[in-house]
Amino acid sequence: MTAHDEKKHKNPAPITILGLESSCDETAAAIVRSDTTILSNVIASSSEIHASHGGVVPEIAARAHLDTLEPVVRHALQEAGITWDEIDGVAATAGPGLIGGVLVGTVAAKAMAQFHDKPYYAINHLEGHALTARLTDKVAFPYLLLLVSGGHTQLLLVKDVGSYERLGTTMDDAAGELFDKSAKVLGLGYPGGPAIEKSALNGNPKALRLPRPLKGADHCHFSFSGLKTALAQAVEKYGDAHEVADYAAALQDAITDCLGDRVTKALAIAKQNAAFAKDPVLVVAGGVAANKKIAETLDKVASNAQARLIVPPAALCTDNAAMIAWAGTEYASRGQPSSRDFAPRPRWPLDESAAPPPGRGVRP
């Protein structure tokens, strides 16, 4: 082997993956390389369409994906400045999510992979979020993940690609779901998270007291349904006696306290893993991670536990295709393509062995 051949063997060309995301109301395509270069990341949102309905309507979302996916993919290729010859595989969200949208993305990805003779990668949407910190910060395994979004609130020990231990999940509503439903009660519109955060800036969180469900419990699960009900009852009882901003601030404070308490517990449990204890890292992903008050509180929680906090950029915390493409590179680098017979899954837990939390049935 010549010196040139040896250098080439040690430094193989990066893997380039096209990723598609269509699990909710974002139609997205991105091209990412295994050396963490994001060549393009295109997102077309239908949130304005759904805003008039107060939330995402599955059938409307699926039709929007059908209309938008092809031009979004074309845009991603043009922005990246590459051709199909330079693409090494196609990855797409195959669940969990609204099944209509997931089907659109999956069928399109399989068709593209078949036509261009490329490997196909069926990606778990939650794993896309879980691995984003490796794209942005090159985090080593294992690390603790708080996944907090519109559909999911979970605490997971991320041991490796495809290897997860769920420490906690929500028994009912997700934190992002609570934000959306509460914003509707307060007349703040959709999406609720940013609307409540903005309103809370002008509010007094101590104007009224809302409950902190499960705070101090000896497990890491969450429950937000009772908090949603408590806010609705407070609005009905007190009405205009409190400003909308006060309701928003009180709600944001309660959610933040609940998240901080559960993460504190999870960090203590995760430190029982010797590899984690050597370099404890807390990663926060999902759309709710963009909330500044929540991020500030979790930074304090991590510091108190002598752990590092990593929050990827907001654009990569909300639903996007770059995280899906990156997850595709992780599997491609391990030589693990998916079968083109893979069936999309509306529910797809990262930890298949995790028992349902007390008091409810199966939730991914």
Structural domains in the chain?
3-131+317-333 (3.30.420.40), 140-316 (3.30.420.40)
First to last CA, the chain: 50
How far apart (Å, rounded) are the C-alpha atoms in residues 210 and 197?
17
pLDDT at 62: 66
How far apart (Å, rounded) are the C-alpha atoms in residues 143 and 133?
10
Which positions of the chain have pLDDT values less than 50? 1-9, 47-53, 361-364
CA distances from 226 to 61, 229, 231 (A): 29, 5, 9
* Residue located via tokens 């040896």: 6
Contacts of 352 (CB under 8 A, 6+ apart): none
pLDDT at 58: 61
How far apart (Å, rounded) are the C-alpha atoms in residues 43 and 36?
19
R_g of the chain, CA atoms, integer Å: 21
Angle 244-270/192-200 helices, nearest 10 degrees? 110
How far apart (Å, rounded) are the C-alpha atoms in residues 258 and 213?
7
pLDDT at 11: 66
The string of pLDDT tens digits covering residues 253-279 is: 999 999 999 999 999 999 999 999 999
Q: Examine residue 14 and say whether the peptide bond preceding it is cis (omega within 30 degrees of 0).
A: no
pLDDT at 303: 98
* Residue located via tokens 């069936």: 343
- Its pTM stands at 0.90
Strand 38-45 and strand 26-33: pairing? Answer: antiparallel
Q: Examine residue 96 and say whether the peptide bond preceding it is cis (omega within 30 degrees of 0).
A: yes
